[in-house]
Structure 1
Amino acid sequence: MTVLVTGSRGRVASTLLGLLDTAGVKARAGSKKPTDLSPSPGVETVRCDLSDPATFDTALKGVDSVFLYAEAAHAGTFADRARAAGVEHIVLLSSSSVLAQDAAENPIAASHLAAERALSAAAESGAFEATHLRPGAFATNALQWAGALKEGRGPALPYPHAYSDPIHERDVAEAAFAVLTEPRLRGSSYVLTGPESLDFTEQLAILAEVTGHPAPYTTVTPEEWKESVAGFIPERFADALLAYWSTHNGHPTPLTTTIETLTGHPARTFTTWAQDHAQAFAHPVVGNRPSPRLRPGGAPRAMGVPSA
């Protein structure tokens, strides 16, 4: 079996490549910029730009299965080219946001939903089997806080008590490995969550405990937060984030045990994730003392929502 892994510079994809290689499964690392990749010697690289259909045929040649990121623009074309190449199974890294009632209109969920629909249509025609992985909030969203925490001021949060279900990226990769290598798991949709529903203040408290440094935050109004991110988050995405946080403010997120079902072990806790990524939050040392700031000022940081 040969598996094409798209988006191979991503955390989930790069972890999956390692799992496949260790298991002796032939893997092909696809990326928009394959020269930036440094996979294991047994993993070949190929240019696969999901925004450029001209790269699809070469990337898919001789491939049996695909791990696919949810790029909606050419999902239908990718499905057609995969069918022509003889691909038997595509695992889509989607998002649990597709389950929302407004998913088709929500800018965060819409691309995942469109990609799911394109693959499902092809699968229903018998082209290949399609499996959808739908993780909730990635624990790596907390990395958006790293700069502010290093500076000693913490993130600015419009909804500090908004809950999410942070999932370790390795658990997502291991779930993908399971459905790629175990035929009985194909053809279903799996909602993946971490083992705990935590609000932002609880996540910050865990980071403080793990790193040994305070993890403060400030509360801002939704309007103040939206203004602070206007330079790098489009308005419609900012509105969608605020709506998501407002809905989950004070309301724990439902959890699943799907990670354990697929991998044989419970999902990793946010504490484990924080320990694995503690270096990202480490304070720089100036002389013999930690420096409380890396740079003056800076925009407030805030947590993302479920994404792939």
Structure 2
Amino acid sequence: MILVTGATGTIGSEVVRQLAARGEKVRAMTRNPGGARMPAGVEVVRGDFLDQESLEVALEGATAAFLVAVLGPADGGRDARLVELARAAGVGRLVKLSSIGTGDPAYGPFGTWHLPGEEALRAGEAEWTILRPSSFASNTLGWAEPIRAGRPVPDMTGEGRQGVVDPRDVSETAVEALTDSRHSGRTYTLTGPEAIRAADQAAVLAAVLGRPVRTLTLTPDQIRAQLTASGLDEAAVEGVVGGVGFAREGGNTLVTDDVRQALGRPARTYREWAEDHRQVFTGEG
């Protein structure tokens, strides 16, 4: 039995889908089981990171688990506690979704969010794998509405380049790590094949869609306002703003070959992701 926490999120939902397609026995944890759409045969359970009893129930009988517990700066202790509960439940293989830059002081507070969970993972006896993805290609899904309306898309990182990664590569690496012990003890920093700017992503979308896609570089205050409107608290907002500023200044240009090491093939390009999600930007589906 493989438990997937964060089972309705960007990465978790794809992990569930891929595991189910392989015929694995999957348990999907979500705070709202009634609203979850899962593949046939997937067991859906309620679980809340703030409710220890629900976590213990979700972990019972699991042999492997995909751990997604950090949503902001206040979640580090919760993340470590989830690892401890998994270990106490006898889960033998743990795969944690972390983030690029974790443990690097240059990333500021954002680089500390996942540290407690990573440290707890390494301290235990269970097999573990840590995934540290760079910026997701799917972050540009938020551009769909302005593109359809012919408006400029918001650009938070200006001339800063990032190793934008296709979330499917992250999910596929998670699935491999959950099902194959050869990934045990590895920390994968997952990036796309090149470091690109937001303007480069806009240019790719323009080519795919056959229409101009303009960008509008946001100021730090505009970024704060946008993040606050999305529901993040002040500490989380400042952490994200700091990370965005670091990327804007050219600090997040790292590109690795870890996707190839984990999956035996090159990382997908942003162009591949854009072509596969074209209909979202056109409103066709």
Q: TM-score, normalised by structure 1?
A: 0.82
Q: Who is 2:27 aligned against?
A: 28
After alignment, is 111-120 or 47-56 more displaced? Answer: 111-120
Paired with 2:177 and 2:223, the residues of 1 have a C-alpha distance of: 39
Query: For residues 189 and 259 of structure 1, what CA distance do their matches in structure 2 show?
Result: 11
**Structure 1 runs not aligned, ≥5 long:** 285-308
Q: Are the aligned partners of 2:29 and 2:45 in contact in 1 as well (CA < 8 Å)?
A: yes
Distance 1:79 1:248, change over 3 A: closer
Does 133-142 or 45-54 show the bigger shift? Answer: 45-54
Moved more, 145-154 or 227-236: 227-236
Q: Residues 241 and 111 of structure 1: is their aligned pair in 2 closer, same or farther, counting only changes over 3 Å?
A: closer
Does 1:166 find its partner at 2:164? yes
Q: Which amino acid aligns with 2:102?
A: V
Residue number in structure 1 paired with 2:62: 63
Q: CA deviation at 1:234?
A: 4.4
Residue in 1 that maps onto 2:176: 178
Structure 1's 53 and 199: CA in aligned 2 closer, same or farther, altered over 3 A?
Answer: same
Partner of 1:82: 86
CA contact (8 A) 1:195 1:255 kept: yes
Structure-2-length-normalised TM-score: 0.88
**Which residue number corresponds to residue 266 of structure 1?**
266
Counterparts of 2:34 and 2:103 in 1: how far apart (Å)?
A: 36
Shift of 1:236: 4.4
Q: Which structure would you say has the larger Rg?
A: 1
Alignment of 1:20-169 (within 5 A): 20-71=19-70, 72-101=76-105, 106=109, 108-121=110-123, 123=124, 126=125, 128-157=126-155, 159-169=157-167
> What is the CA distance between 1:235 and its match in structure 2?
4.6
**Is contact 2:143–2:154 with CA below 8 Å preserved after alignment?**
no
Shift of 1:139: 0.7
Bigger shift: residues 224-233 or 129-138? 224-233
How much does 1:68 deviate? 0.6
Give 1:282 shift.
Answer: 1.2
Q: Helix, strand or coil for the counterpart of 1:198?
A: coil
Distance 1:218 1:68, change over 3 A: same
- SS for the counterpart of 2:246 is helix
* Distance in 2 (alpha carbons) for counterparts of 1:227 and 1:47: 33
Deviation string for 1:120-167 (max 9, x for gaps)? 23x1xx2x1221111011111111222222221122435421211111
Aligned match of 1:281: 281
Distance 2:68 2:226 in 1: 29
Q: Distance in 1 between matches of 2:176 and 2:204?
A: 30
Q: Give 1:75's aligned amino acid.
A: D
Cα offset, 1:247, TM superposition: 3.4
Q: Percent identical across equivalent pairs?
A: 34
Distance 1:67 1:227 in 2: 33
- Is contact 1:70–1:94 with CA below 8 Å preserved after alignment? no
Aligned Cα root-mean-square deviation (Å)? 2.2
Q: More helix by proportion, 1 or 2?
A: 2
Distance change (3 Å), C-alpha of 1:156 and 1:87? closer
SS of corresponding position for 1:97: coil
- Give the 4+ runs in structure 1 shifted more than 6 A: none
What are the Cα deviations for residues 101-130 of structure 1, in whole angstroms up to 9, with x where unaligned?
155x61x33332222122223x1xx2x122
Cα distance 1:209–1:90, how it changes in 2: closer, same or farther (>3 A)?
same
Segments of structure 2 that go 5 or more residues without pairing to the other structure are: 71-75
Q: Deviations over 1:2-35 (max 9, x none)?
A: 1001111012111111221222221111111122
